[in-house]
Structures are given as C-alpha cells and as structure tokens.
Amino acid sequence: APVRENLTYEAFGTAVRELAQTIADDGYQPDIVLSIARGGVFVAGGLAYALDCKNLHLVNVEFYTGVGTTLEMPVMLAPVPNAIDFTDKKVLIADDVADTGKTLKLVHDFCVEHVAEVRSAVIYEKSHSLVKCEYVWKRTDDWINFPWSVLPPVHRSGEAAKDNKEAL
Ligand code: 5GP
C-alpha cells in the first residue's frame, strides 16, 4: 500500500499553533489572512486566531481540466476577492498543502500587484512545489489524508448513500 501522511484533527491543532508561532517569531504581522477554500479555511481560521488577525478573506479555487488535453490549470471561482481590499495591506495566504504549487501561485500572483506584502503559510509543502512558501509546518512527498476530507460526506441517518442520491 502507498505511504500516507495521516493528519488528525488533534495533530492539526498542534500544527496550526506551531505554524503561527513561526510566523510571529519571524515578525510578520498580517493585516489580512486570505484562505484558499476549502482546505485552507481550517488553516486560515486557526492562524487568524493565533495571530490575532480579525480580517479574514476567502477565495475559491478549483482545478480546470482542459478538454482533450492533459493540461490542468487551477482557476479562481466567483466571487473573486476585491483586490481594492488588499491595497497596501500585509496579506498572509493560508492553504492546507502546496503540492504542485499551482493553486498557491495563482492566488499569490493575484495578490502581488495590489498588496504591500504577501507571504504564504501551509501545513505541508511537497518538494516538487513550484512555489516555496515562507511558512511550512512539515515537508512530505507522500499523499496526505486531511481530517476534513478523509471521510466521505455524511448522509441522512438510516439512508443508504444511493437512496440519498436518488432523492436529489
Ligand atoms: P496544488 O497542486 O495546486 O499545490 O494543490 C491543489 C490542491 O490539491 C490542494 O489545495 C489540495 O486540496 C489538493 N491536494 C494536493 N495534494 C494533496 C494531498 O497530498 N492530499 C490531499 N488530501 N489533497 C491534496
């Protein structure tokens, strides 16, 4: 079986506090934490509390698979954050993992023209990532099981998954 990096909710709690401590020790005091949904929302929430930053923004990014090609590019979904909000602000981008790094690069490039400063924080960074984040809790090249996405969505109690689908 392939090797997995298993992050529990409990270990995540430790990770996010340690990541915040690294950021604080580095003297970076963000005005805005920008989370990349959905996985980055957990990280951003934890960091915003730990860094005492009350200004939390969110951007939705999904991978778009080009028709008939192997090209895979992430795209920002509407509503795209208003870049005006970021003018002259110190922004901290938060995500769960920089894997290819394409998602973080997209959001970073969006920010960089408007903000005073932008840095990125992730729980995990893989060695092949094209973006090197300023703040990384742990480096791995294994597939990561995150506590929020390792289980399938819940269904109404007593109903089989297929019944639930039929009801939709
Ligand atoms: P990217 O390749 O753009 O850096 O990562 C895009 C997204 O793919 C991540 O935000 C995450 O949601 C998902 N992803 C990438 N690598 C992993 C992984 O090892 N485990 C899980 N659960 N998701 C991953």
ipTM of the predicted structure? 0.97
What would the pLDDT profile of 89-118 be if each residue is shown by its tens digit?
A: 999 999 999 999 999 999 999 999 889 999
* Closest-lying ligand 1 atom to the alpha carbon of residue 103: 3
Q: Which of 43, 36, 112, 115 is nearest to 76 (CA)?
A: 36
**Ligand 1 binding pocket includes 147 (Cβ within 6 Å):** no
Positive/negative CA dihedral, 98, 99, 105, 111: negative
What would the pLDDT profile of 14-53 be if each residue is shown by its tens digit?
A: 999 999 999 999 999 999 999 999 999 999 999 999 999 9
Kindly indicate the confidence band of residue 158, based on its pLDDT and cuts at 50, 70 and 90. confident
What the block records as the tokens of 31 is 């005005």
What pTM does this model have?
A: 0.91
Give the integer Cα–Cα distance in Å for 99 and 125. 6
How far lies 54's CA from each of 31, 36, 48, 51, 76, in Å? 8, 17, 6, 9, 23
Q: How far is the CA of 124 from the centre of ligand 1 (A)?
A: 10
**Ligand 1 binding pocket includes 102 (Cβ within 6 Å):** yes
Contacts of 132 (CB under 8 A, 6+ apart): 125
**Ligand 1 binding pocket includes 100 (Cβ within 6 Å):** yes
